[in-house]
Each structure stands twice: as C-alpha cells, then as structure tokens.
Chain A
Amino acid sequence: MSNNDTLNRLTTLLVSHFGASEQRVSGTATFEELDFDSLALVELAMVAQKEFGVEVDEQEITPDQSVQDVAELIDARTVAA
C-alpha cells in the first residue's frame, strides 16, 4: 500500500496538470480508463519525478496500471532513496 499522502498528491496532479476528471480518478482507475495516451504517460513520469523528487522511468508507467500502482512505485523509490 502506498501512503495516503502520495496517492492524494498524485491524484491532485492528475487533475491539476492533466485535467483528469475528478469523478473518475481513484486509486483503482487505470490510465487507460483515464484516457492517458503514450505521450501523456511519458509526461506523467516527467511531472511525477519533479513533484516527488524520485526517478521514474517513462517505460515504468503503462496504460493498464492503476493510479495506486504508480503511487506505490513512487513510495518504493522514496524509501529506497
């Protein structure tokens, strides 16, 4: 489980930067469901890296992953760092 703070911050980022619908963003929503295409996923890796200060490779975020999955990835990196 990611901590709630990371999930909340990620959710906020998805809404504020990418304009994802607040109604549709949840921990279980996949990026495909949120209409993220491949370029948006690369942008997400870039923006998340800046927001959370951890390295996220662009190939690491895939359309079938959920928001929760990415929050956990960020947390794992944060702990490792």
Chain B
Amino acid sequence: MSWPGAGFAAAVTGLGLVTPVGIGVESSWRRVLAGEAAGSHDPLLAGLPVDFSCRVAGFDPDAALGRSAAWRLDRSAQLAIVALREALQDSGLDQTTWDGARVAVVLGNALGGVQTYELQQRQLDSAGARAVSPLLVPMCAPNMVAGHLAMECGAGGPNLVTATACASGTTAIGTARDLLRSGRCDVVITGGAEAAIGRTMIAGFARMGALSRRASEPDAASRPFDAGRDGFVAAEGAAVLVLERVADARARGARVHGMISGYGASADAHHATTPDPSGDAVERAVRSALDDAGLTTADVDHVNAHGTSTKINDATEAKLIQRLFGDRVAVTSTKGVMGHALGAAGAIEAVCTVLALREGVVPPTANLETLDPEIELDVVAKAPRLAPHRVAVSNSFGFGGQNAVLVVTAP
C-alpha cells in the first residue's frame, strides 16, 4: 500500500449505458457478449475519406427527452441524460428524498459539442452571424454535460467534467471515487459521454491516420490486436455509474454490481499523439492503481484493454500488459464491438468490466481473427469465456499522453 487511502472501494450501485449496440445496459451487454460489431456507413460522413462510424442507432432524442428539452441539448448531453435515468433507476436512490447537496457529478468528455459547433459554423459561413443559434455556447461547452445531469436529477454537490481525451471517462470515475473518499459527497454520478462524429472532426482524425480505412467492411474495421488492424472507428455513446461508500450502499440494502477499488494516472510527457514506446508511464499508472487498491499484479485476472485497433496503441499496450502480467490474464477490447467512443470509452468499458466480473464472463474481442504475431497475450476472441474472476484492470490512454487506469473488483 503506497498511501494512506489505499484499500478504499467505491460500491457501484447503478449502471446506465447508451452505446452503438444498444440503448440500455442489458441490450448493450448482450451484443458485447455476442461480439456483434456496430460499424456501419454513416450518411453524415458521405464523401469523406472515412465514411463509416459507430453511432447509437435508433436514438430518438425527442421521444426520449421530449422536444422542449431535446432541442436545447447537444447530442452528448442527450445520450448522457438517458444513461443517467437508467443508472439512477437501477440504483434505487430516491431523488425526492436524497440530500441533493451531497450528490456529486463527475463526467468525462473529450471534444464537447463539436457536432453542434460544426453545424453552427456552417450557418455562420452561409447565412451570417444572425443565423447562429444563441444555444451554441451552452450546447458545445464541454462542461455542460455534467451541468445537465445535475439539472436532470437535482444533484447539487461538486460538479465537473474531466477532459483527458480518450481517457476522460476513466479519469472521471477515478476522480469520482477520490471525491467520495474525501467525504465531500455521499453519492457520485460518474461516467462519460461523447457525440463528436462531425464531418470536420472525422476529416481531422482521418488526416492523422488514426482511423481505419476498411470502408468495404465497416463492421469488421475495428479489430483490436488483429494482425490486419488499421485504425480505430469513431463511436458515440454514454455510460453512467452511481458510486457510493460501501457502508452506505449496504445500509440501504442496495444491489452492489462491483467495486471501483483503485485508480492510477500518469502522463507520458513524450508526444502529443504518439504513445511513449517504452510504456513506462502506463506501467506507472497501472502499478499505482493496484497500489491504491492494495493489490499486486499477481491478483489481476482480467484486463479490459484500451485496445483501439490502431497499429501503435495495440502494439505498445500489448507489450506493457505482457510485461506486467505475462499471458496469465484474460485480455479483451470491447472496442471491437463498439468502436472508440473517445471520452465515453473508458466509462463504457468500466461498465463492461463491472459486468464481466459480476457475471463471470469475459466478452470476446470482436473481429479478432488472426492475433498480431508480435502480440503474446491471451486475448479472448470469437466467443465469451466463462471465468469466475475477482480482479480486473481497465486501461485508457488519451492523446496528450494522459493515462488513466481503474482497478475493478467483484462485489
């Protein structure tokens, strides 16, 4: 144990998911276990070098939230509110009787309301300043999604958004747990939300060479750890987790899905977009998360990898996992099914990790047909694997060299 707080576990008492493979935890999880990938051609990206993505199919904001609320919200907030409602209902917490001042919100988001921004930029260019919506600023500021969750449920405690690019959701959950441990709140609503599949943004990601070009088979494009992988597939979604102190959860008889038992973070201090090939900073994050949980590498059974399906991430991450755990841990990347939901990804994966331990099953890495010969890991592929695991690590790494790692344990 490296510091006095070691061993603090936050009980996960509520889960909510809105993902490219389902609106709701059960429907999403079923598709994740089946390894059914979501990638498809995207009419909004027509004509671009990369014209496919993983959107939340069938999401109707007017039906879900009512038109009077929906028109004022960026899609990231719309997705987050729907995930929040599911998580709160699941938690059994009663918003009419709780002390809202003791309820915090910490949500991860990477790119704010860029779809709204892109649309309004086109309005400005084509019709002038008077055609720009007065809702532009509140719709696209990245902090707003946490504000909207507070408004939705009356959470009046500390409220913030964490932005660590593709690690944002993981950073949020780690920060939420720290907040709970600090005593500044009694309940934390945490997770991540992202809806950044805008034409300009996708063109930018494509120019970086970060995106898969497998346009002929969009549902086979996200293939983490596969020899034929060639980039990530942009996704959107939201995940919300309700965290409470274990004693509080037990006292009210809440169902505990799992525990967030450790958190570690580090910076590569290396390059804006290329991970440090040494993996040293990531190793530091993993080791500090395990220290924080009072555990060691020998305790870990399962790793939910960052596994983006880019050449460089998967190679660097695999080497690090091998170095820390050997081939003894069951590794998966749920991005094979869902694509990469950027600031929501870590939160979606935290939910998947909680479910994997609760249900005793590791989901397969979709589209993994031929393991990259450079990778010497036990990556679960083709079918879910039944395994009564107790301890898992969930990795997330963001552009900027920002690394965040959670230790999740079975309830």
Residues of A in contact with B (beta carbons under 8 Å apart): 15-21, 35, 39-40, 42-43, 46, 49-50, 58
Q: Is there an interface contact between B71 and A19, defined as CB atoms closer than 8 Å?
A: yes
Contacts of B71 in A (CB 8 A): 17-19
**Residue in B66, B70, B131, B134 with the greatest tally of chain A CB atoms within 10 Å:** B134
Q: Is there an interface contact between B134 and A39, defined as CB atoms closer than 8 Å?
A: yes
Contact pick for B68, options A20, A43, A46, CB 8 Å: A20
Q: Is there an interface contact between A42 and B68, defined as CB atoms closer than 8 Å?
A: no
Determine if B271 is an interface residue (Cβ-Cβ < 8 Å): no
Minimum CB–CB distance for B125 against chain A, Å: 16
B137-158 near A? 1/0 per residue, CB < 8 Å: 0100000000000000000000
Contact pick for A39, options B66, B67, B138, CB 8 Å: B138
Minimum CB–CB distance for B381 against chain A, Å: 46
A-B contact pairs, 8 of them (CB 8 A): A19-B62, A19-B67, A19-B71, A39-B72, A39-B135, A43-B133, A43-B134, A46-B134
Which label, helix, strand, loop or mixed, suits the secondary structure of the B interface?
Answer: helix
Interface residues on B, range: 10 to 19
Contacts of A40 in B (CB 8 A): 72
Beyond known contacts A16-B67, A46-B130: 16 more, CB 8 A cutoff: A17-B67, A18-B67, A18-B68, A18-B71, A19-B62, A19-B66, A19-B67, A20-B68, A35-B68, A39-B134, A39-B138, A42-B134, A43-B134, A43-B135, A46-B133, A50-B131
Minimum CB–CB distance for B72 against chain A, Å: 8
**Residue in A16, A18, A21, A46 with the greatest tally of chain B CB atoms within 10 Å:** A46
Residues of B in contact with A (beta carbons under 8 Å apart): 62, 66-72, 130-131, 133-135, 138
Which label, helix, strand, loop or mixed, suits the secondary structure of the A interface?
Answer: helix
Q: Is there an interface contact between B131 and A46, defined as CB atoms closer than 8 Å?
A: yes
Q: Is there an interface contact between B130 and A49, defined as CB atoms closer than 8 Å?
A: yes
Contacts of B67 in A (CB 8 A): 15-19
Q: Is there an interface contact between A19 and B133, defined as CB atoms closer than 8 Å?
A: no
**Complex: how many Å from CA A42 to CA B129?**
13
Minimum CB–CB distance for B81 against chain A, Å: 15
**Complex: how many Å from CA A50 to CA B135?**
17
Q: Is there an interface contact between B68 and A19, defined as CB atoms closer than 8 Å?
A: yes
From B134, which residue of chain A is reached at the shortest CB distance?
Answer: A42
**Complex: how many Å from CA A35 to CA B131?**
23
Minimum CB–CB distance for A68 against chain B, Å: 21
From A37, which residue of chain B is reached at the shortest CB distance?
Answer: B72
Contacts of A46 in B (CB 8 A): 130-131, 133-134
Minimum CB–CB distance for A54 against chain B, Å: 13
Q: Is there an interface contact between A19 and B134, defined as CB atoms closer than 8 Å?
A: no
**Complex: how many Å from CA A21 to CA B66?**
10
Minimum CB–CB distance for B113 against chain A, Å: 15
Minimum CB–CB distance for A65 against chain B, Å: 17
Contacts of B62 in A (CB 8 A): 19
Contacts of A15 in B (CB 8 A): 67
